[in-house]
Amino acid sequence: MKVINDFNFENKKALIRVDFNVPLDNDFNVTDATRIEAAKPTIIKVLEDGGSAVLMSHMGRPKGTRNADMSLKHICDKVSEVIGVAVKFVDDCVGETAEKAVAELKSGEILLLENLRFYSEETSGDVAFAEQLSKLGDIYVNDAFGTAHRAHASTTVVAQFFPENKCFGLLLAKEIESIEKVMQTGEKPVLAILGGAKVSSKITIIENILDKVDHLIVGGGMTYTFVKAQGGKVGDSICEDDKMELALEILKQAKAKGVEVHIPVDVLAADDFSNDANTQIVDSDKIPDGWQGLDAGPKTLEIFKEVILKSKTILWNGPIGVFEMESFAKGTIALGNYIDASTQNGAFSLVGGGDSVAAVKQFGFQDKVSYVSTGGGAMLESLEGKTLPGIAAILA
């Protein structure tokens, strides 16, 4: 695996695919700079070697047309602030204007190209467009895990024009390493915590990881499909009736593979999907009609705590309650605290997938786990066992 540390960038221009698809407010201020901060070590490595960095990214979905609201010029000041170097901007990403700006770039300087997705050729993986991009650097560096599952011109196709001079950035290398730790090299016992609303969205992950884990915690809305499938009463809780057979099949497969599955035994139920609803603790298989389970109960949390504290490798994907509402966030916060304690005790913990990352940030756990993944869809596809095109292109 070629990583950026295998190259010296002295007097070289690094063409770096970053993921600067960051949220902006109505005044075009960056509201969360996590992705920019994540790319900083890779950019600094290039500059410290005596090279220059040409950054390319997409923002939003302009669908092949120029959209001033999605111009990367809006983030230029923020990127300069985070990296600590004034960043230049060019209002195109291919062609004469871009090539001239790159030609004038000196060692130690950074140039940010305009939004790649202003060209439909980016998302269609157009080879001629990728070749134009390739003229903008001597070494291609992919550091955009968030788009590594897309076979786009800048994430995958461009790599073929750098047969010897292509590598992973520090962020992407760390993502690959973290997923490998969970899926292949992790110290046992290995635990996967899968939350979220639907079994259907996690089924391929569950099927792929059953061979890799010793324990599986099922939480969130998925709980009730499993509970009802086993004959329990789930009241008005979210439930995929058409996936109950699948839930039973998962339990059967897990048993055959020696994986212990832990499903909530009690839940915090509410008489309305509202922060101000009436609540009661009930057994997860005896939820009254008119009530719905919205968080894990105290007995469940004790069981989960015991499993988490004895695990040496932990994957957390998905919250175990409706954490967006304060009344139903306690279970997810407790889970974060247990994972924090286990991590302090030497376990490796990886958090990934949209909602769990949001929860970790909201409750201040990002520095208390081993690694927080930056790519939602890419992370999920990795866990499903798929080879991501952006990674395969560097390894080719």
**Residues forming the active site:** 35, 198, 354, 377
User: Which residue(s) pair with 389 in the sheet?
Assistant: none
Residue 325 phi, psi (nearest 5): -105, 130
> What number of other Cβ atoms are within 10 A of residue 178's Cβ?
24
C-alpha–C-alpha distance, residues 90 and 19, integer Å = 17
60 annotated as belonging to a binding site for a ligand: yes
58 annotated as belonging to a binding site for a ligand: yes
* C-alpha pair distances (Å), 344 with each of 166, 215, 335: 36, 20, 14
7 annotated as belonging to a binding site for a ligand: no
35 annotated as belonging to a binding site for a ligand: yes
390 annotated as belonging to a binding site for a ligand: no
What is the DSSP code string of 200-266? TTTHHHHHHHTTT-SEEEE-TTHHHHHHHHTT-EETT----GGGHHHHHHHHHHHHHHTPEEE--SE
262 annotated as belonging to a binding site for a ligand: no
181 annotated as belonging to a binding site for a ligand: no
Q: If you count DSSP H runs as helices and E runs as strands, how many of each does the chain have, helices first?
A: 14, 17
353 annotated as belonging to a binding site for a ligand: yes
299 annotated as belonging to a binding site for a ligand: no
Q: Is 69 helix (H, G, I), strand (E, B) or coil?
A: helix
355 annotated as belonging to a binding site for a ligand: yes
Q: Is 282 helix (H, G, I), strand (E, B) or coil?
A: strand
20 annotated as belonging to a binding site for a ligand: yes
17 annotated as belonging to a binding site for a ligand: no
Q: Binding-site residues, please?
A: 19-21, 35, 58-61, 117, 150, 202, 293, 324, 353-356
Q: Binding-site residues for substrate, please?
A: 19-21, 35, 58-61, 117, 150
Q: Binding-site residues for ATP, please?
A: 202, 293, 324, 353-356
Q: Binding-site residues for (2R)-3-phosphoglycerate, please?
A: 35, 117, 150
